[in-house]
Amino acid sequence: MDGTTVTAIIGIVTPFLFALAIIKMAMHSKEKKREFSEKKNRVTQQDAHDFEKEIRELSRKIENLEIILQAQKNHKDRKHGYGDI
């Protein structure tokens, strides 16, 4: 193989290698964006789940406080002779 043949081969192959490198970089970038988006969705869903759990716990605590307050009110009413109202 002489120099002109090698030069011709390099001239033909180089643009394809360059295009392949660009395509690979674009695919890698797209994959990273997709992974970031999926991770963000998982975090958002977990945050929503945690928030929902905290709301349920708060609701349960409020119900318990209402029961305690009602029991205290009933106890005071009986103590003062009001009976069940």
Of 4-13, 24-33, 38-47, 75-84, where does mean pLDDT reach its minimum? 75-84
User: Is the pLDDT assigned to residue 39 strictly greater than 90?
Assistant: yes
User: Is the pLDDT assigned to residue 84 strictly greater than 80?
Assistant: no
Its pTM stands at 0.52
Residue type, 68: I
Q: What is the mean pLDDT of the chain?
A: 91
- In this structure, the chain runs to a length of 85
User: Is the pLDDT assigned to residue 1 strictly greater than 90?
Assistant: no
What does the block give as tokens for 21?
């490198």
Any residues with CB less than 8 A from the CB of 59 and at least 6 apart, and which?
none
Q: Cα-atom radius of gyration of the chain, to the nearest Å?
A: 36
Mean pLDDT of 21-48: 95
- pLDDT band at residue 75, thresholds of 50, 70 and 90? confident
